[in-house]
Amino acid sequence: MARLRQEEIRRLLGYLRKRPADPGLLAQIEDELRSDYADEFLREPELLVHFPVLTENLIVDGSQWQLRIIPHAHLRMVQHGVKLEVVSTLFQRFVEYCVASAEIITSGPYTIFGRPEPRSARLTLRVDVDFVTDESGAAHVVTVFIGRSGSNNAIEVEL
Amino acid sequence: MAANVLEVVESARHLTAAERREVLARLWPETSARNGHDVWVSVRFDGTTRVVAYAPGQEAHLESLRDLLQQGALARMEDESDGTYEIYGPDRTYYVTMTPAKEFAGLLSSWTPDQPPREVSIPDED
């Protein structure tokens, strides 16, 4: 169990207040977010319905890519203040780096480490490349998760 | 026995970090240890285990993940606050967000041990 940091609570509530929601439900969520068990609450499926899938289309080096950011990753992005442009930029740099180093991107899981911008915090993108083809002109489809956000150095654990 | 361990260690030197974890996790399935920033723990769910698929295409692996968590397995914690772990089963590795105290796991991704995630470090821009 662990409490969230104030800025994490503020970001999550700020996001949720912009969405149409029952005020009573919002108050319940706020209570949970401020509780000692907030980190566990963030993993519960019922919270994820408020964080829909985000889709981002990119063209990198002539190829189309479609990033699908699942609700869990969307929630983590809001919590840690990671913007969609940051995820998109890091993924674009990953593709450009692979092209420059003649590494072929194939279907399967990837873990991408990098700084989206100079001197910014390191971010770990974990992605599943679901579909890759250059034959039909269809987009390469990538499911995106967020690994380490760089905002948390704590590694103590109690199970 | 010692020769076997030496062979494994020597072979592991030539693997990527992700490949090494796939091998070593299966050699020591019962442990709790810290190696640098890695925290390894044994997890075992005894009661009402809840597992859900948080990513498309992972529904097919829910039953095997549930069985694995109830049998007990070695897990590597990636991030404490996000509760993200890699759980190493005999035939598949599962990337989850998990609350062990509530015996809950949300399955994000999974792969076979011979095809772990490829790790790419993007150099910093000048």
Distance CA A26, CA A20 (A): 10
ipTM of the shown complex: 0.86
Q: Which long-range contacts (CB under 8 A, 24 or more apart) does B13-21 make?
A: B16/B116, B16/B118, B16/B119, B17/B119, B18/A111, B18/B116, B18/B117, B18/B118, B18/B119, B19/B116, B21/B76, B21/B86, B21/B88, B21/B116
pLDDT digits (tens, 9 = 90+) for A83-124: 999 999 999 999 999 999 999 998 999 999 998 778 888 888
Distance CA B111, CA B104 (A): 20
B1 pLDDT higher than 50: no
Query: What is chain B's mean pLDDT, rounded?
Result: 82
pLDDT confidence bin for A156, thresholds 50/70/90:
very low
pLDDT confidence bin for A158, thresholds 50/70/90:
very low
* B41 in contact with chain A, both atoms CB, cutoff 8 A: yes
Q: In this structure, are residues B95 and B109 in contact, taking their beta carbons and an 8 Å threshold?
A: yes
Q: Six-digit token pair at A118?
A: 């100079």
* B60 in contact with chain A, both atoms CB, cutoff 8 A: no
Positions of E strands within chain B:
33-35, 38-43, 50-53, 73-79, 84-88, 93-99, 104-111, 118-121
Distance CA B43, CA B71 (A): 9
- Residues near A67 by beta carbon (within 8 Å), at least 6 away in sequence: A54, A55, A56, A57, A58, A87, A88, A91, A127, A142, A144
User: B78: which chain A residues are within 8 Å (Cβ-Cβ)?
Assistant: 147-148
Question: What is the pTM for the complete model shown?
Answer: 0.83
Sign of CA dihedral A58, A60, A64, A68: negative
User: B97: which chain A residues are within 8 Å (Cβ-Cβ)?
Assistant: 43, 72
Half-sphere exposure of A127 (CA within 13 A, CB side): 31
Positions of E strands within chain A:
54-60, 63-69, 108-114, 123-131, 140-146
**Option in B37, B81, B84 nearest A2 (CB):** B81
pLDDT score, position A90: 92
Distance CA A96, CA A53 (A): 25
Question: What size, in residues, is chain A?
Answer: 159
Domain ranges, ordered by start, for chain B:
2-111
Angle at which helices A6-17 and A23-33 pack, to 10 degrees? 170
Q: Which residue of B has its CA nearest to A129?
A: B117
Give the pairing of strands A54-60 and A63-69: antiparallel
Q: Six-digit token pair at A98?
A: 């692979």
Q: In this structure, are residues B80 and B49 in contact, taking their beta carbons and an 8 Å threshold?
A: no
Q: In this structure, are residues A142 and A126 in contact, taking their beta carbons and an 8 Å threshold?
A: no
pLDDT score, position A149: 57
**Option in B77, B116, B123 nearest A157 (CB):** B77
Q: Do A40 and B118 touch (CB under 8 A)?
A: no
Q: What is the mean pLDDT of residues B8-32?
A: 67
**Option in A45, A128, A148 nearest B79 (CB):** A148
Q: Which residue of B has its CA nearest to A118?
A: B125
Domain ranges, ordered by start, for chain A:
6-48, 54-146
